[in-house]
């Protein structure tokens, strides 16, 4: 297993629709295990393959909800149905972040309920009905597979603030990434 560099906004791989997975082989298993390790190290609650520079329709997720249910796994070639219209609470509980725009958070309205249908590493189909934060995670990661970042969905004035923050960091251009381990940063 290996921790992979996380691609920062501006690289074409993050802004291009990803391709379906066609080979459920050992290479795919290695990629998914590396994505899980990278997500844990970051740390993050989800990570999509384009974020590690791979243009395939795969995401991993790891979330413990208020009822202490631990949701974690991989979604390959997912489909997503939104079962409600996007809502935004007035508090800051809806602030979303992204490992490809590290350190920034902005409020974004998302559907409160979704149905995820996808395949696991054994090519077995599964279905999850999600609500709340898990629904948000699925929508965020699914967007990555269509080349959409949450910053692309922000409304004014947050859209302007995000664009400014990205410019200020020198992001928004190809080839930038960060490695989520101190060990490797020191090397
Ligand atoms: Zn993201």
> pLDDT tens digits, residue range 10-60?
999 999 999 999 999 999 999 999 999 999 999 999 999 999 999 999 999
pLDDT of res. 187: 41
H or E element that contains 24: none
Whole-angstrom distance, CA of residue 125 vs CA of residue 105: 33
Handedness of CA 136, 149, 105, 36 (dihedral sign): positive
> pLDDT tens digits, residue range 159-174?
999 999 999 999 999 9
Domains of the chain: 6-171 (3.90.45.10)
**Residue 183 C-alpha to ligand 1 middle, in angstroms?**
24
> pLDDT tens digits, residue range 97-125?
999 999 999 999 899 899 999 999 999 99
DSSP strand pairing (125-131 vs 95-97):
unpaired
Catalytic annotation on 79? no
**Residue 23 C-alpha to ligand 1 middle, in angstroms?**
25
DSSP bridge partners of 113: 131
Whole-angstrom distance, CA of residue 121 vs CA of residue 126: 11
Active-site annotation holder among 95, 141, 182, 183: 141
Residue 1: pLDDT band (50, 70, 90) is confident
């Amino acid at each position: 297993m290996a921790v992979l560099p996380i691609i920062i906004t501006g690289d074409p791989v993050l802004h291009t629709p990803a391709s379906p997975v066609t080979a459920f082989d050992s290479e795919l298993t290695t990629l998914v295990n590396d994505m899980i390790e990278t997500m844990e190290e970051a740390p993050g609650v989800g990570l999509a393959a384009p974020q590690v520079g791979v243009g395939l329709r795969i995401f991993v997720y790891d979330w413990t909800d208020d009822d202490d249910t631990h949701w974690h796994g991989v979604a390959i070639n997912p489909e997503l149905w939104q079962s409600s219209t996007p809502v935004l609470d007035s508090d800051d509980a809806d602030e979303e972040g992204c490992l490809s725009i590290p350190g920034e958070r902005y409020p974004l309205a998302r559907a409160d309920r979704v149905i995820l249908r996808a395949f696991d590493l054994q090519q077995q189909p599964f279905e999850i009905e999600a609500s709340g934060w898990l629904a948000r995670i699925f929508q965020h990661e699914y967007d990555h597979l269509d080349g959409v970042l949450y910053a692309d969905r922000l409304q004014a004035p947050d859209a302007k603030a995000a664009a400014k923050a990205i410019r200020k960091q020198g992001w928004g251009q190809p080839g930038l990434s960060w490695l989520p381990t101190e060990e490797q940063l020191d090397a």
